[in-house]
Amino acid sequence: MQEALNDLENSEILSREQAALLRRIYGRELFSVHWELRLLLYGGILILTTGLGLLVAKHFASIGHLTLLAAIVLGGLACFAYCLRNGGGFSPERLAAPDAAYDYVLLLGCLLLGTLQGYLELRYQLLAQNWNWWLLVSALTYLLCAHYFDNRLVLSLALSTLGAWLGVKTSLLGARPWDGGLRDNALFFGVLVVGAGVIQARLGWKRHFLPVHLHLGVNVLLAVLVAGVGPSTAGATYLAGLLLACSCSALYALRDRSFAFLLYSVLYGYLGITTFVFNRGHWSSEGIILYFLVSAASLLTALVAVHRRFRSAE
């Protein structure tokens, strides 16, 4: 590498300053802290909004309703004003963030909006038993913000909130965790998220949002199918659907060189098959231990080998 840099510098393809910078990078004198800073920003915003929510829940009577309401509203307005002033406006294409804090300021504004809705419901009981509709309002608002400001963090928040609304709505109807009704709604939600992302990408509308849709939708679909494999009488049907979904995820991973989707297909497929086998057979303790030793070792070996192939292909 050093010889190549010397040749490029002697050939005047690189200036002396450029070559010196590349030598420092190659010698690991310089390294990026980009993701560390983003993680700190993300964690700081989550801690801030969590603390604010706890403050509202426990001390809103002593601090004063108007004071808390004004603080939350002004904080949210300040965040959205910052994004409107510094953002480039709406575009169906990908927009570069004007600065490192832009995405996180928008996320903070959206979380403050959610805190405001929770405060209003806690204080004034505006929707009472229908409080779950606040989740739908939040999800639609977050979707609008994600598309207007081109923010994948807020898109993840919007899709998660939409899924939470659907789950809470079903639970209020008396559904128990992972029973038939809740599984059906979760399957519908997973298909909806994946389908919306694919259609949006095909239409050329925010193509870079597709991975967010796929990661969330595929995980929901596979988790629901694994849950259906268990004690359900339709366990074989769920297992067949799980294997089909895992195959599609693996094919997508191989086509787009995305190891995450291959990992999803392998892990969820393993969980589904293991659940199906143990729920429909009588196993001794020795057989269970042997099964996990052999299967887990084989699975880990295969994943390491495939990951090395993915790395070498890059």
Q: Does one domain contain both 25 and 41?
A: no
31: left (phi over 0), alpha (psi -120 to 50) or beta: beta
Q: Does one domain contain both 240 and 272?
A: yes
Q: Does one domain contain both 50 and 165?
A: yes
Q: Does one domain contain both 61 and 162?
A: yes
Pair 107, 47: CB distance under 8 Å: no
Q: Does one domain contain both 209 and 112?
A: no
- Residue 135 CA to residue 173 CA, distance in Å, equals 16
What are the structure tokens assigned to 87, written together?
A: 């953002």
DSSP letters, the chain, are -HHHHHHHHHTTSS-HHHHHHHHHHHTTSS---HHHHHHHHHHHHHHHHHHHHHHHHHHHHHH-HHHHHHHHHHHHHHHHHHHHHHS----SS----SSTTHHHHHHHHHHHHHHHHHHHHHHH-SSGGGTTHHHHHHHHHHHHHHHHHT-HHHHHHHHHHHHHHHHHHHHHTTPPTT-HHHHHHHHHHHHHHHHHHHHHHHTTSSGGGHHHHHHHHHHHHHHHHHHHHSS-TTHHHHHHHHHHHHHHHHHHHHHHT-HHHHHHHHHHHHHHHHHHHHHTS---HHHHHHHHHHHHHHHHHHHHHHHHHHHHH-
Residue 153 located in a structural domain = yes
Alpha carbon separation from 132 to 42, 135, 203, 270 (Å, rounded): 26, 5, 32, 35
Residue 95 located in a structural domain = yes
Pair 53, 115: CB distance under 8 Å: yes
Give the pLDDT of residue 22: 65
Give the pLDDT of residue 46: 73
Residue 9 located in a structural domain = yes
Q: Does one domain contain both 131 and 195?
A: no
Give the pLDDT of residue 232: 60
Residue 24 located in a structural domain = yes
Residue 295 located in a structural domain = no
- Residue 127 CA to residue 132 CA, distance in Å, equals 8
Residue 303 located in a structural domain = no
Q: Does one domain contain both 76 and 168?
A: yes
Range of the domain at 18: 1-31
Q: Does one domain contain both 169 and 221?
A: no
Residue that terminates a domain, selected from 174, 190, 215? 174
Q: Does one domain contain both 132 and 195?
A: no
Give the pLDDT of residue 314: 52
- Residue 198 CA to residue 214 CA, distance in Å, equals 8
Residue 97 located in a structural domain = yes
What are the structure tokens assigned to 226, written together?
A: 């694994």
Q: Does one domain contain both 184 and 154?
A: no
Q: Does one domain contain both 38 and 167?
A: yes
Pair 108, 48: CB distance under 8 Å: yes
- Residue 79 CA to residue 73 CA, distance in Å, equals 10
Residue that terminates a domain, selected from 156, 174, 192? 174
218-255 burial string, b = 16+ CB within 10 Å, else e?
bbbbbbbbbbbbeebeebeebbebbbebbeebbebbee
Residue 66 located in a structural domain = yes
How many domains does the structure of the chain reveal?
A: 3
Q: Does one domain contain both 160 and 214?
A: no
- Residue 294 CA to residue 206 CA, distance in Å, equals 44
- One pLDDT digit (tens) per residue for the chain, 314 residues: 566 666 666 766 777 777 676 666 666 554 555 556 666 776 777 787 777 777 766 766 666 777 878 888 999 999 999 999 998 778 888 888 888 789 889 988 998 898 888 878 877 888 878 888 999 999 999 999 999 999 998 999 999 999 989 888 777 655 555 566 778 888 999 999 999 999 999 998 899 999 999 999 999 999 999 988 876 677 889 999 999 999 999 999 988 888 899 999 999 999 999 999 888 777 888 888 898 899 988 888 888 888 787 776 55
Give the pLDDT of residue 139: 94
